[in-house]
Copies of this chain bind each other. A is one copy, B any other.
């Protein structure tokens, strides 16, 4: 069983080889931005999940490398297009592609990345290739659906908690779930176990996204990579905000909606005011409980999986790493 660190090195080397190839491929304006995007780094969480899931069943993890690369390129494609849609100028301390190059190059490079993901995936040498392509394609479409719901929610005030959970399942969790199942399929694991890994990834992904919502407000500024309170400033319909709207009495709700509707405000003042409402309503504790429930549910599913306990340990370590991330 290889460690998270070893798997990350393995996929990083593969990505670096690919970046070198892309930087030599024409047309330059199409492929160089793709290399630039892949070189921005990140935790390579999803490809590590692919490789680790494969490693649960076989030592030949190179079998899962094409799928790992496919998932990472697809994930980076979604970030690239999301940055255009969100008009986000920065990504991982670098200029976003649409800013470094231009929006047209960003649209087209993203389109090419989405197609390239399939090209990588097709290099998988396994009789499960058909299943893997279907899983990948279904997942990719779900991620688009999640992104659309997320955009729709920006202009809706009546988003319910179940609707929100469905959105983060689609936007975030299914790709983590797909990563794990993909690795299992690449290793020719029994379908039933591959499906259990999928469910594990789904629960873990929802816990991961709820944690993201929580950290935006309650993280330790020093450890947290980005500015605290970004979601509050942009009125993002996070689990915290939706829960607060659900639980607040009339005067508190009025105060909260007042902040949401304000056009001009002092950023710190708004963050403090909303945070105070959250504290009054025990939103932090409620969110933590929800995260714990999904996380525990994930671990329970993992326990059902029929592989030696020692080989599962690294997967538990990965789950812990995901939940304690500073990202």
Q: Is the beta-carbon distance between B114 and A145 smaller than 8 angstroms?
A: no
Instruction: Report the separation of the CA atoms of residues A65 and B200 in the bound assembly, to the nearest whole angstrom.
Output: 37
Give the total of A residues in contact with B, Cβ under 8 Å. 35
Stretch of A104-112, A300-308, A314-322 that contacts chain B: A104-112
A69 to chain B, nearest CB (A): 14
A117 to chain B, nearest CB (A): 9
Can you name the residue of chain B whose Cβ is closest to the Cβ of A78?
Answer: B111
Known: A112-B141, A112-B144, A115-B141. A107 touches B85 (CB 8 A): yes
Stretch of A53-61, A127-135, A289-297 that contacts chain B: A127-135
Q: Is the beta-carbon distance between A108 and B147 smaller than 8 angstroms?
A: yes
A155 to chain B, nearest CB (A): 10
A159 to chain B, nearest CB (A): 13
Most buried by B among A27, A105, A129, A149: A27
Instruction: Report the separation of the CA atoms of residues A179 and B107 in the bound assembly, to the nearest whole angstrom.
Output: 25
The answer to whether A252 has its CB under 8 Å from any CB of chain B is no
Instruction: Report the separation of the CA atoms of residues A84 and B104 in the bound assembly, to the nearest whole angstrom.
Output: 8
Partner of A104, one of B85, B133, B137, B138: B85
Partner of A148, one of B30, B144, B152: B30
The answer to whether A90 has its CB under 8 Å from any CB of chain B is no
Partner of A152, one of B27, B114, B147, B152: B27
Known: A30-B148, A107-B85, A148-B30. A138 touches B114 (CB 8 A): no
What chain B residues lie within 8 Å of A119 (beta carbons)?
A: 137-138, 141
The answer to whether A81 has its CB under 8 Å from any CB of chain B is yes
A269 to chain B, nearest CB (A): 30
Known: A137-B119, A152-B27. A144 touches B85 (CB 8 A): no
Chain B proximity mask over A84-118: 1 for CB below 8 Å, otherwise 0: 11000000000000000000110110111011101
The answer to whether A206 has its CB under 8 Å from any CB of chain B is no
Instruction: Report the separation of the CA atoms of residues A111 and B114 in the bound assembly, to the nearest whole angstrom.
Output: 8
Most buried by B among A118, A129, A140: A118
Instruction: Report the separation of the CA atoms of residues A107 and B148 in the bound assembly, to the nearest whole angstrom.
Output: 11
Chain B proximity mask over A22-33: 1 for CB below 8 Å, otherwise 0: 000011011000
**25 residue pairs from A and B, CB less than 8 Å apart:** A27-B145, A27-B152, A29-B148, A30-B144, A30-B145, A81-B107, A85-B104, A85-B108, A104-B151, A105-B148, A105-B151, A108-B151, A110-B111, A111-B144, A112-B141, A112-B145, A114-B115, A115-B137, A115-B140, A118-B118, A118-B133, A119-B137, A122-B130, A122-B134, A122-B137
Instruction: Report the separation of the CA atoms of residues A107 and B119 in the bound assembly, to the nearest whole angstrom.
Output: 22
Can you name the residue of chain B whose Cβ is closest to the Cβ of A147?
Answer: B108
Q: Is the beta-carbon distance between A137 and B112 smaller than 8 angstroms?
A: no
Tell me the residues in window 146-188 of chain A with beta carbons closer than 8 Å to chain B beta carbons: 147-149, 151-152
What chain B residues lie within 8 Å of A105 (beta carbons)?
A: 148, 151
